[in-house]
Structure 1
Amino acid sequence: MIATLRHEFGMQIRRPALWIVYGLAFALLLASFQQGYVIPYLGRDYSSHTATALVSVATVVNSLMAMAYGCLIADRLVRDRRLGVDEVLEATPAGRTGRLVGKYLGVCAATAVPIALAYFGRALVYAVTEGEPGALALSLPVFAAMVVPGLLFVGALCLAGPLLVPVQLFRVLFVGYWFWGSLIPANMMPTLSHTLLSPGAHYPEFGFFGPVKPPEGALVDSEYPVYGPWHDAAFNVLRPVASPAVAVLWMGVMVALTVAVLLLIRLHTARTEH
């Protein structure tokens, strides 16, 4: 597993397409999200402006760059079959499960490096320009809670998808899924956006770092900055009001979905090998 992880990480991090695609995504981010990334959004009543700024940057980075992350991962698992190296890998002493986990961790870690650079680089700039050295320490839990769980699930999903449909088609479908399941308003159409099943949900933002607790029964589109049920939206049963416990629950759901998808990949590869 460790050998596969190191090999996959090295190949992916040296891949020119990774840096080109992320470079274009970052340029789009700078051009389109002046309010949020270049100028962090400070309009909510968080415990401090530092927490608000870091949450704002994490939200913007995750919303846009996660699409590039998923598309860049999509061809990593099917590549071995396409190159005809399956039999060579089978001759090694490494087990199939170890190779799968190593490939998953190595590819996801390497593909997440530009996202981490965009986020922590902005956190560093904020710490220096605003004279807030504590922003560097706070940036770690914000990134770990808000960004990492969703990336774990997206990484597993994008390894699995091209096993069922062609890579290019899957990339188109994934971008559509990301908008439908993470970005669009929940009352626009039936969607998993802003639910416990959405990798782009903001439960850690509001549960761990968010505004003061709203009055009982307040809705997300009311005057109160609550994250939870939307007025006249489908699947509100999957949108409990954010709290620390619900934020932990969302993180656990993302990990559970990740493990489930990896198990399905393992079962699929075992079936096709026979």
Structure 2
Amino acid sequence: MIATLRHEFGMQIRRPALWIVYGLAFVLLVISFRQGYLIPDIGRVPRSVTTDLLAVVGTVNVLMPMAYGCLLADRLVRDGRLGVSEVLDAAPASRTGRLLGKYLGACAATAVPIALVYFGRVAVYAVTEGGPGALPLSVLVFAATALPGLLFVGALALAGPLLVPLPLFRVLFVGYWFWGSLIPADMMPTLSHTVLSPGAHYAEFGLLYTAPSDPYVLPYGPWPDAVLNVLRPVASPGAAFLWMGVMAVLTVAVLLLVRLHTSRTA
């Protein structure tokens, strides 16, 4: 597993397409969401280091996971296209270990640009406004709000091309991200803002947000007249941990299905 992890990380981090796609996504992010990323204090009453960090990570988590999922989508089917699956099966390593190594290595490498965009902005913020305390707090914010969704999206991106052609999966994945994470819940039936959505903000409003009386922020939970409100509990510490647990369970379930699929097709 460790050898596969190191190999997959090295291949993915040196991939030119990784940096080109993320570069374009970053330019689009700055142009479209300048207020949230470059000026996170606008609209935040009262201001605090935590709310500023949440504004930054929330902005980064709008577009970057789409690039993340699309770039991961070819990592598992690549071995079959190159004709090296049989060679790998003959190596003294279990398929489960190779799958976990591929998943962890590819996901870690693909998440590096996201971390650079987020922690780079945090470093500037710590120097100019937030103080050194913003740096350790930013790690907690990222781990609680962005990491659970990225882990699930990574597993989903590896599994999807096993069922549908790779180009089609990428198109479907972008649509899924908009539908399941960004579309307002009262616009159409959607998983957006539910505990099943990788882009949900339960950790932000249930655990970390420090100004619940902020008039600019609506309560996070059920939407009036929206479908699937049973999956939208009011934000609380319990709801936040429920969302994290659901993301972990879905991640493990998808990886188990991938492992079963590889066994059946061997």
TM-score under structure 2 length normalisation:
0.96
Structure 1, unaligned runs of 5 or more: 215-221
Counterpart CA distance in 2 for 1:209 and 1:155 is 25
CA displacement at 1:91 relative to structure 2? 1.0
**Shift, 1:45, TM fit:** 4.7
Deviation (angstroms), 1:211: 4.6
8 Å contact 2:76–2:158 — kept in the other structure?
A: yes
Deviation readout 1:165-212 (Å, 9 max, x if unpaired): 010000000000000000010000000000000000000110111255
For 1:30, the aligned partner's letter is V
1:1-274 equivalent positions in 2, closer than 5 A: 1-45=1-45, 48-212=47-211, 225-273=218-266
CA contact (8 A) 2:50 2:210 kept: no
CA–CA separation in structure 1 for the residues paired with 2:51 and 2:204: 9
TM-score normalized with structure 1 length: 0.94
Measured in 1, the distance between the counterparts of 2:130 and 2:86 equals 56
Q: Percent identity?
A: 74
Q: Which amino acid aligns with 1:17?
A: A
Q: Deviation string for 1:215-266 (max 9, x for gaps)?
A: xxxxxxx986310000110000000000111101101100100000000000
8 Å Cα contact 1:45/1:211 also seen in 2: no
Letter in 2 for 1:129: T
1:20 counterpart letter in structure 2: I
Are the equivalent residues in 2 in contact too, given 1:44–1:225 (CA < 8 A)?
no
Amino acid at match of 2:178: F
Contact 1:228 1:240 in 2 (8 A): yes
Contact 2:66 2:174 in 1 (8 A): yes
Counterpart-to-counterpart distance in 2, 1:192 and 1:121? 31
Letter in 2 for 1:230: W
Shift of 1:213: 5.1
The number of residues matched between the two structures is 265
CA contact (8 A) 1:204 1:248 kept: yes
| Equivalent AA in structure 1 for residue 224 of structure 2 | H
Letter in 1 for 2:3: A
Q: Which amino acid aligns with 2:263?
A: A
User: Structure 2 CA distance, aligned partners of 1:164 and 1:113?
Assistant: 27
- Partner amino acid, structure 1, of 2:34: Q
Instruction: Write the letter of the residue equivalent to 2:234.
Output: V
Give the superposition deviation at 1:14: 0.3
Deviation of the 1:43 alpha carbon: 2.7
**Residues 40 and 213 from structure 1, CA distance in 2 versus in 1: closer, same or farther, beyond 3 angstroms?**
closer
CA distance in 1 between partners of 2:138 and 2:42 (Å): 16
* CA 1:183–1:131: 2 relative to 1, 3 Å: closer
Change (3 A) 1:224 1:86: closer
In structure 2, relative to structure 1, the CA distance for the partners of 1:68 and 1:223 (3 Å cut) is closer
Tell whether the 8 Å contact from 1:207 to 1:247 is kept in structure 2 after alignment. Answer: yes
* SS of corresponding position for 2:35: coil
Higher alpha-carbon deviation: 28-37 or 105-114:
28-37
Instruction: Verify the 8 A CA contact 1:42 1:49 in the aligned structure 2.
Output: no
After the TM superposition, which parts of structure 1 deviate over 2 Å for at least 4 consecutive aligned residues?
A: 41-46, 211-214, 222-225
Task: Name the structure 2 match of 1:219.
Answer: none
For the 8 Å contact 1:228–1:241, the answer to whether it is kept is yes
